[in-house]
Chains A and B, each alone.
Chain A
Amino acid sequence: MLQVNHLCTSFFTDKGEVRAVDDVSLEVPAGKIVGIVGESGCGKSMTARSVMGLVRAPGKIKSGEILLDGRDIVRLSEHERCAIRGSEISMIFQEPMTSLNPVVRVGHQVEEALLLHEHVKKQEAEARAVEIFEAVGIPDAKKRLRSYPHQLSGGLRQRVLIAMAMICRPKLLIADEPTTALDVTVEAQILRLMKKLCGSGTSILLISHNLGVIAQVCDYVYVMYAGRIVEQADTFTLFDNPCHPYTKGLLDSVSSLRSGAQVLDTIPGVVPNLLHLPAGCSFSMRCGCCMEKCADLLPELHETEPGHRVRCHLFDKEEPA
C-alpha cells in the first residue's frame, strides 16, 4: 500500500540543519494498522506530515521516496498532490478543538471533501455525510450535520474529524495522536472505531506516544528516536522481546508504573537536541549499555529475526553481544 524509502526531511534554520526525519523506511500493508511510537520531538509527526506533503517551510523533504500503490508521490506537483490528499490519503490530527473551522457547520465541512474530489450533487453529499456520521458512531446524525463545532464535545469532534477523513473512502488514514486530547473512556471508544475502519479495508498509520494505544490496536510497530527508526517489529514481538535499549527503557518505564514498585524505572537524561546529535548512535548519551564505538559509529538497522530490525551495535553481526 504505502511504502516509504529512505525518507529524509530537514528543517533549515539559522542555527543549522535540523534532521527531523533521517533515513526512515517504513511500510503500511493493506488492511493493517501500523504504529509509530516515540517521545515528543522524535520525528514521528514529521514523518506523517511528509507523507501527506504537509511539511511547512523552512522544512523540506530532502531525499527518499514515498510510494502509494507504487506511485512516487514526492515528485508529484502540488496540484496532483491535492487530488490525492483527502481522496486517497487522509489525516486526522491531535487537536479536535482546533482542527475544525469554528464558524462553519460541521456537515458542510464534512461534505466539502466530497464536493471537491468527486463532484457529486449537494443532496448526494449530504446523504453520504449522514451515512458516514452513522458509521463513526455519531448519534442523531442528521441533526448533528447542522451543528457548529463548539456545540460538540471533544469525543464527538474527533469523530467528526474521522468522518471528514473517511468520507472519500481513502485507502490510507494517517492518525496523528488521535486520542491524546480525549478522556480515557472516550479514547477507548475511538480506538475501537479505528479498528472497525481497518476491518472494513482502510490501512491506518497510527502515531502515538502512548504504548498502551500501540499495544491495543497496532499490528506492526516502528519505534522512533531522534529522527531515526531504532526498532521495528510486529506488536507481539516488540512487546515480548524488545531489543533496543531505548525500547526496553520505554517498556520498563510503563510496566514499572503498573507493577507497584516504589521507585520507578526511568531513562536518565533528556531527549538530545536535534541540532547537536552525536556522530554515532543518538541514544548513546542515555544508554546503559553504551560501548566505545557507539558514540562515533552510527549503527545500521540489523535484522535479528524475520520482520524484526534493531538499530543497535549490540546486535552487530560480526560480534554479537
Chain B
Amino acid sequence: MSEVLLEARNLNREFPAGRKKKIHAVSDVSLRICEGETLGLVGESGCGKSTLGRLLIRLIEPDSGEVLVRGKPVTGLKEKEFSSYRRKFQLIFQDPYASLNPRMTVRDLIAEPLKTYKVCGSKEETTERVLELMKAVGVPGEFLHRYPHQFSGGQRQRIGIARAIAADPDLIICDEPVSALDVSVQNQILNLLRELQTQRGLTYLFISHDLSVVRHISNRVCIMFLGKICESGPVEELFQDPLHPYTRFLINAVLVPDPHRRSDSAELLKGELPSPVDLPSGCRFHTRCPYATDLCKSKEPAMQQIGGREVACHYPGVFK
C-alpha cells in the first residue's frame, strides 16, 4: 500500500445546541487516506460527514484527537505554520451557487489561490495560468470576465474545481460535489474529477450520500452513522458483502432505475435518524436495528478488524 497521506486519530467535535445540550457531530473517528486513492465517505444528512471533512483540513478545530499529515501531527500548529499544509488540501463545495463570490469574475475567482500563494509573477502570467486552468476543467476561455451567475450549475462546479486545483494540491475533499447537479451534468463532473486525478496524481476524500456515485469513484469507503464510522473497507467487498446492518439497509434503499427490479418487498429501515443531541445508549444504531439485542442497548461496539475491513457492530453479518 502506498504512503498514508492524511490520518485522523480519535477526532471528536461537539457543537453547542441550546442550554447545556450538545450536538455530537463527530465522535471518536479515526481514518486514513493513502496517497493517490479515493476514499468515499457515505452517510445520511446530519451524520457528521461534512464536519469530519472540515476537521481534517482544520476549517473547524477538533475538541480532541489529532490529525497527522504524512505522519507529522498538525493539530497544534498555528495558522501561519499550517499555511504550507493549507495549500496542499483543498475543498470542493456542494453548492456551486453559494461557493463562488457573486461579485468576482471568473478570472478573479480562479486567480485568488494563485495570488495567495504567489504562484505567478505578473498579471499577464496569472491570466495565462487562469486560462490554462479553465481549459483543464472545460470552461471556455472566452468567459474570463463573466460573473458566476451567468453560468449553469455544472459550469460553476467546474470553476470551483479550477480554484481547488489552482495551487497544485495533494488532497481534495469533495463535499457532495455532484448532488446539486442534473444527472447528465453529474457524470461530466465525475469524469472530470477522474481525469484530473490521473493527470495530477490527486488524492480525494469523496463525501456523498449517493451510494452509486461513491461506488463508482472510490477505492475504499467509510460508512458513517451519527458521528461514528460504522464500517469501512474496499468498495466492491463492502457493497457485495456488507457486514454492518446499517450498510445493508443503505444499499437496499438505493432506487434502481429499472422498473423490472422494483424493491417493493425489500426490507426497509424503520423510523428516522435519532437526534444527535440525545444519543441512544450503547450502539447508536440500535433504535433502528431489527437485530438489536440487550448487549447493543447497553454497550457501544468497538471497531473490529475482519479481513481487510473494519466494522463497529457486536454481530457483524448477523443478517446473513
Contacts and interface: CB of A to CB of B under 8 A. Distances in A.
B255 A40 contact: no
Given A254-B183, A263-B191, A265-B187, A188 B263 contact: yes
Nearest to A39: B182
Interface in A147-194: 153-156, 183-189, 191-192
A133 to B, nearest CB: 15
B250 A264 contact: no
Contacts, number: 115
A40 B190 CA distance: 19
A99 interface: no
A209 interface: yes
A264 B187 CA distance: 6
Interface string A202-230: 00000001111111100000000000000
B255 A210 contact: yes
A75 interface: no
B268 A189 contact: yes
A257 B273 contact: no
Given A185-B44, A265-B187, A271-B152, A239 B258 contact: yes
Q: Which of A183, A186, A256 has the most CB of B within 10 A?
A: A183
Interface stretch (B82-90, B166-174, B206-214): B206-214
B253 interface: yes
Q: Which of A188, A256, A265 has the most CB of B within 10 A?
A: A188
A251 B259 CA distance: 12
A64 interface: no
Contacts of B121: none
Contact of B255 (A216, A257, A262, A270): A216
B45 interface: yes
Interface residues of A, number: 47
B187 A266 contact: yes
Interface string A254-280: 111110101111111011000000000
Nearest to B255: A212
Given A154-B45, A183-B44, A249-B184, A270 B257 contact: no
Contacts of B20: none
Contacts of B183: 39, 209, 211, 250, 253-254
A270 B268 contact: no
Contacts of B216: 257-258, 260, 264
Contacts of A265: 187
Interface string A10-34: 0000000000000000000000000
A213 B44 CA distance: 18
A211 B257 contact: yes
Given A39-B184, A258-B212, A262-B194, A236 B259 contact: yes
Interface in B148-194: 152-155, 182-188, 190-191, 194
A9 interface: no
Contact of A192 (B155, B184, B260, B268): B268
B303 interface: no
Contacts of A187: 253, 255
A235 interface: yes
A184 B45 contact: no
B250 A270 contact: no
Q: Which of A192, A235, A260, A264 has the most CB of B within 10 A?
A: A264
A51 B155 CA distance: 33
Contact of A257 (B182, B212, B250, B263): B212
Q: Which of B186, B212, B258, B269 has the most CB of A within 10 A?
A: B258
B212 A216 contact: no
B80 interface: no
A266 B260 CA distance: 24
Q: Which of A184, A189, A253 has the most CB of B within 10 A?
A: A184
A263 B194 CA distance: 8
Contacts of A267: 184
B317 to A, nearest CB: 20
Nearest to A221: B259
Contacts of A257: 187, 190, 212-213, 216
Interface in A271-316: 271
Interface string B26-48: 00000000000000000011000
B155 to A, nearest CB: 7
A144 B100 CA distance: 40
Sorted nearest first, the 3 A-B pairs with minimum C-beta distance are A212-B255, A267-B184, A183-B44
Interface of A: 39-40, 139, 153-156, 183-189, 191-192, 195, 209-216, 235-236, 239, 249-251, 253-258, 260, 262-268, 270-271
6 contacts: A184-B250, A191-B255, A195-B264, A212-B254, A249-B184, A250-B184
